[in-house]
Amino acid sequence: MSTLKPLTGAQAAAEAMRQINPDVVAAYPITPQTPIVEQFAQFVANGIVDTKTIPVESEHSAMSATVGASAAGARAMCATSSQGLALMWEVVAAVPGLRLPIVMPIVDRALSAPINIHCDHSDVMGTATIGWIQIFSENAQEVYENMLLAVKIAEDKDVLLPAMVMQDGFIISHGVENVEVFDDDKVKAFVGERNPDRYLLDVDHPYTIGPLALPDYYFEIKRQQEEAMKNAKRVYIEAGKELSKITGKTYPYFESYKLDDAEAAIVVLSSTAGTAKDTVDKMRAEGKKVGLLKPKLFRPFPYKEVREALKNIPVIGVLDRSIAFGAYAPLYAEIRNALFELDKRPKLQSYIFGLGGKDIFKSQIEKAFDELLSGDVTPEEERYIGLRG
């Protein structure tokens, strides 16, 4: 049995947190904090969860407190967005090296300047190289399920890495949609309780966390972190298989939508993938063979599997909701990398769209598909969708 609820993406993340029942949640309770913590604080106030909340004085402190709690042995969580993620960056970057399985939902929003509160992926893409597992969600339903998955992967003994679960700011975080919430008992059994081998409050087995490691051992510790990332790729699938026993759904690295015979494909993350699926259906009905690949697991990135899925597509457009200034856009760069091993590579085009919440419409995606189908691509030069002329 499951229950259907009308929830925002933020509420869906909070609903997952209610079932996960973390020991500690630390947050800075004003903007840029998200409604995730606002909703979760109500669960705490109403005694629905037994979580200890720590209101702190900044996002930097929020992640610091989360780190402290996690190191002490607690299941600790935090949520943030945009400037909040930027402010806590120093501590965020330390978490993977500390091997703390903190799970943090992220509401993706633009970074200043100029000041903007709306959706894009600039915030999270800035953290793509520092060792967090990163899972992107298309809608509120995926947010909920990815949160459960993230806890399971992060806390796995072969992984012990932090995980971020992304949702598009406002579009998903503040939009109400149907969300199927699975039974508390089953979900609680799936996520279990955190059971660390080592933790600071285990006074009978003292250990040091976050020591100095100079050229003697720093490199070796980082090498272990990369091994854990490789394990995360395997555990993602294992955890997904287990979760599917509850949800009846599958949890692949990415979603392939009508790709098999596609003559052109678009690769895009998050909420825009839903809009793109409707576009694919419309164009398919008109006899145009188009398809979509929506990455879900972004870190670790499943290069080999993406290559297999895209190898026979003649032309591919990659839509990024952020710019990597002076470089190829983040998702485009990954797709380009993934295809390098092929003898005969698809043609590629990079598109940038939706920065600072600029709307993206089906008609614009259709136009991009038409460009791709015509073979009119400039692989070394990005194009912009929806930019004022």
Partner 1 sequence: MKEVYEVRMHARAGQGAKSGSQLLAEAAFKQGKWIQSFPEYGSERRGAPTVSYTRISDKQLRTHEPIVNPDVVLVFDLGIAKTVPVTKGLSEETGILIVNTNKSPEYIKKVTGFNGKVYTLDATGISLKLLGIDAPNVPMLGALIKVTDVVSLETLETVIKEHFLAKLGEEKVNKNIEGLKKAYEEVTK
> Site residues (CB under 8 A) for partner 1?
4, 6, 117-118, 139, 168, 170-172, 174-178, 271-272, 274-275, 277-278, 359-363
Taking the complex as a whole, the smallest distance from the CB of residue 210 to partner 1 amounts, in Å, to 39
CB of 252 to partner 1, least distance (A): 17
The three-state secondary structure class of 13 is helix
Count CA atoms within 13 Å of residue 309 on its CB side.
24
Closer Cβ to partner 1, 317 or 346, answer by number: 317
- Quote the least distance from Cβ 56 to partner 1, whole Å: 24
| Cα–Cα–Cα angle for 65, 67, 73, rounded to 5 degrees | 110
Least distance to partner 1 from the beta carbon of 277, Å?
Answer: 5
Cβ proximity to partner 1, 23 vs 123, nearer residue? 123
DSSP secondary structure letter of residue 351: E
How are beta strands 297-299 and 133-136 bridged, if at all? antiparallel
Q: State in angstroms the smallest separation of the CB of 45 from partner 1.
A: 14
Q: Identify which of residues 6 and 375 has a Cβ nearer to partner 1 in the complex.
A: 6
Terminal C-alpha separation, the chain: 52
Give min distance, CB of 291 to partner 1, in A: 15
**Which C-beta is closer to partner 1: that of 54 or that of 172?**
172
C-beta of 33 vs 61, nearer to partner 1: 33
- Of 366, 310, 364, 315, the residue nearest 341 (C-alpha): 310
Nearer to partner 1, 42 or 195 (CB): 42
d(CA 236, CA 89): 25
What are the residues facing 54 on neighbouring strands?
A: 26
Element housing 255 (H / E): strand 254-257
